[in-house]
Amino acid sequence: MIKGITLISAIASGAEFDRLSSLFSSLGFEQGKGWQDAQGRGEAYLAPIGNLEFVTGRPPAVPPVLVEVTQLDHIRSLVEKWLLASHRTEDIATILSPSELTHWNSRLFTVKLTPELTLGFWQSENPLHNQPNAIEGDLSAANMRFAIVTTRWNTVITDRLLQGSLDCLHRSGAARSDIEIVRVPGAWEVPSAARTLAESKKFDAIVTLGCLLRGETAHYEAIYNEVARGIGQSQQETGIPHAFGVLTCETLEQALDRAGLKAGNKGFEAASAAIEMVSIQRKLSAQNAQVKK
């Protein structure tokens, strides 16, 4: 079985070898096993993915060694800085090319490190390039049923979270008749209500909202730990997704920021997570059913 590909390039001098080693290390290459004997030495630099490509019909338009990166401009800056330390400024333009678009939907720059070694660094313009296939949830709430558990305590915060959740669900296609709102006294009561709603099997997901503000006693930690544990346990034991939108803040100002003023609306985010989890569960169930056939 094929295990890996190694491309070997000869470097003229030991001094040039040391300089290149320092560059490749600074660029973030993982260093492999090197060797040294009376006649020479070698260093290996590893990359997560290796490709061997053959061409015919026309000469390749790129250097024989291509390195794919995710931050092309940053890499070019590092290479330029490295070159400036050992080359005259006027020589840099002949050694280092600008980053340019290619005909294969990428950006590329080249650098002639030695007379024997020219590298090309490139980055795909497709954000999904080389990304692993994954099952992901959609953000359509059509034909889904949701329950929202919120609190009467700290309503100056929880009402904003509730509006954020409703905004997300309605924008995503959930019908008003498919959303049920349950108000409980405080955060302590949220897990119990969420568990009852989940066990009814009438809802595809539960959105839990609340707000805990730190006081001068340990009451805050005791309540938060039990609320988080209870919501998580309900989700695991019923199999119904529970979106966590219970704020735990030091001050009222922090809570207001997270309820729509500065740091987004956590109620909106919780509802979005609930929609996505329902979608993922349906896809996984359909996949399992297909496998069993």
- Residue 275: give its domain's CATH number: 3.40.50.960
* Shared-domain flag, residues 88 and 160: no
Number of structural domains the chain divides into: 2
103 is catalytic: no
Higher pLDDT, 244 or 219: 244
Residue 50 pLDDT: 82
* Shared-domain flag, residues 32 and 161: no
* Shared-domain flag, residues 280 and 191: yes
* Shared-domain flag, residues 29 and 116: yes
* Shared-domain flag, residues 285 and 152: yes
Transcribe 89-104 into DSSP letters. Answer: HHHHHHHBPPPEE-TT
Mean of all residue pLDDT scores within the chain: 89
129 found inside a domain: no
CA distance 179 to 147: 6
If we measure between CA atoms, which residue out of 110, 47, 49 comes closest to residue 83? 110
Domain of 212, in residue numbers: 146-292
95 found inside a domain: yes
132 found inside a domain: no
pLDDT tops 70 at residue 293: no
8 found inside a domain: no
* 273 contacts 164 by C-beta, under 8 angstroms: no
42 found inside a domain: yes
* 234 contacts 242 by C-beta, under 8 angstroms: yes
The band of 217, judged by pLDDT with boundaries at 50, 70 and 90, is low
**What residues contact residue 105 under an 8 Å CB cut-off, 6+ apart?**
124, 125, 126
Q: Residue for token digits 């007379």?
A: 115
* Shared-domain flag, residues 65 and 171: no
The band of 80, judged by pLDDT with boundaries at 50, 70 and 90, is very high
140 found inside a domain: no
9 found inside a domain: no
pLDDT tops 70 at residue 83: yes
pLDDT tens track for 26-73:
888 888 888 898 888 999 988 888 888 888 888 888 888 899 998 999
Out of 74, 87, 219, 242, which one is annotated catalytic? 219
pLDDT tens track for 140-168:
999 999 999 999 988 999 999 999 999 99
CATH code, domain carrying 98: 3.10.180
* Shared-domain flag, residues 269 and 152: yes
Residue 220 pLDDT: 77
Cα-Cα end-to-end distance for the chain: 33
Domain finish residue from 124, 154, 189 = 124
pLDDT tops 80 at residue 131: no
Transcribe the chain into DSSP letters. Answer: -----------S-HHHHHHHHHHHHHTTPEE---EEETTEEE--EE-S--------SS--SS-SEEEE-S-HHHHHHHHHHHHHTTS-HHHHHHHBPPPEE-TTSEEEEEEEEETTEEEEEEEES-TTTTPPP--------TT--EEEEEESTTHHHHHHHHHHHHHHHHHTT--GGGEEEEEESSGGGHHHHHHHHHHTT--SEEEEEEEEE--SSTHHHHHHHHHHHHHHHHHHHH---EEEEEEEESSHHHHHHHBTTSS-BHHHHHHHHHHHHHHHHHHHHHHHHHHH-
* Shared-domain flag, residues 150 and 277: yes
Mutual angle of helices 155-171 and 266-292, in 10-degree steps: 40
Average confidence (pLDDT) over 194-213: 96
pLDDT tens track for 222-277:
888 999 999 999 999 999 999 999 998 888 888 888 887 776 899 999 999 999 99
